[in-house]
């Protein structure tokens, strides 16, 4: 069995621009038309957000503002259920908790980074220590099933309740990484 998410316009709701939608499939009879959002630019992501679709663009600028200057191709962060129906030029980063996309902060940034760059997640956590809520960090890491990468970079220092799964990198190596990475624009 699999879950499926479809985008259906409610009566009275303004439609998304036609260039952003690709018809998914047609059925016989008079069913509602299903569409696949097509995302090519950051403006497309902003348009989707204005229409209530949970999507977010994870950019290197956002990570740099959090104190870790880095360069990478942007990731489109969407809920797991929406990932198969989105056609995008960006790499897709599916997450389990769509609530993380409402108003993302440093905790959400750390959990997004844990998926593809745990060392960057560690540096962002260190440089935003005062802004991290340990209870929210615990909830996000557990909901996403990221205990292993969190243990690898010792995020238990920020959230002691996180269970330890697997081996952690040596403290000396983590301190060296924190010290030898340039600071960004953040706090």
pLDDT digits (tens, 9 = 90+) for 4-53: 556 666 777 777 676 666 666 655 665 666 677 888 999 999 988 888 88
Q: Furthest-apart CA pair in the chain: how many Å?
A: 66
Q: Can you give the pLDDT at residue 146? A: 95
Residue 12, pLDDT score: 73
- Provide the token pair at 56: 């977010």
* Pair of tokens at residue 157: 């220092």
CA gap 44, 50 in Å, rounded: 10
Segment 14-19 long-range contacts (CB within 8 Å, at least 24 positions apart): 14/51, 16/47, 16/48, 16/51, 17/47
The pLDDT of residue 94: 94
Please name the residue that has the structure tokens 């260190």: 126
Model confidence at 139: pLDDT above 70: yes
Spatial contact of 17 and 47, defined as CB atoms under 8 Å apart: yes
Cβ–Cβ < 8 Å for 123, 180: no
Is 112 a residue whose pLDDT tops 60?
A: yes
Mean pLDDT of 133-153: 94
Q: Which band of pLDDT confidence, cut at 50, 70 and 90, is reported for residue 1?
A: very low
The predicted structure's pLDDT at residue 3: 47
Residue 187 has what pLDDT?
53
What is the model's pLDDT at position 21?
A: 64
> How much is the pLDDT for 56?
92
Highest mean pLDDT among 40-44, 144-148, 182-186: 144-148
């Amino acid at each position: 069995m699999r879950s499926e998410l479809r985008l259906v316009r409610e009566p009275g709701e303004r439609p998304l621009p036609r260039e952003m939608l690709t018809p998914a499939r047609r059925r016989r009879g008079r069913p509602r038309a299903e569409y696949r959002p097509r995302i090519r630019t950051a403006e497309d992501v902003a348009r989707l957000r204005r229409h209530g679709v949970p999507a977010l663009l994870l950019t290197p600028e956002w990570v740099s503002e959090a104190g870790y200057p880095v360069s990478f191709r942007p990731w489109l962060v969407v809920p797991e259920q929406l990932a198969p129906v989105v056609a995008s030029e960006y790499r897709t980063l599916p997450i389990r908790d769509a609530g993380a996309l409402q108003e993302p902060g440093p905790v959400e940034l750390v959990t997004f980074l844990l998926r593809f760059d745990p060392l960057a997640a560690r540096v962002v956590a260190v440089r935003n220590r005062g802004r991290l809520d340990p209870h929210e960090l615990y909830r996000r890491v557990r909901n996403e099933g990221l205990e292993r990468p969190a243990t690898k970079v010792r995020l238990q220092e920020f959230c002691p309740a996180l269970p330890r799964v697997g081996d952690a990198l040596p403290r000396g190596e983590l301190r060296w990484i924190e010290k030898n990475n340039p600071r960004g624009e953040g706090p």
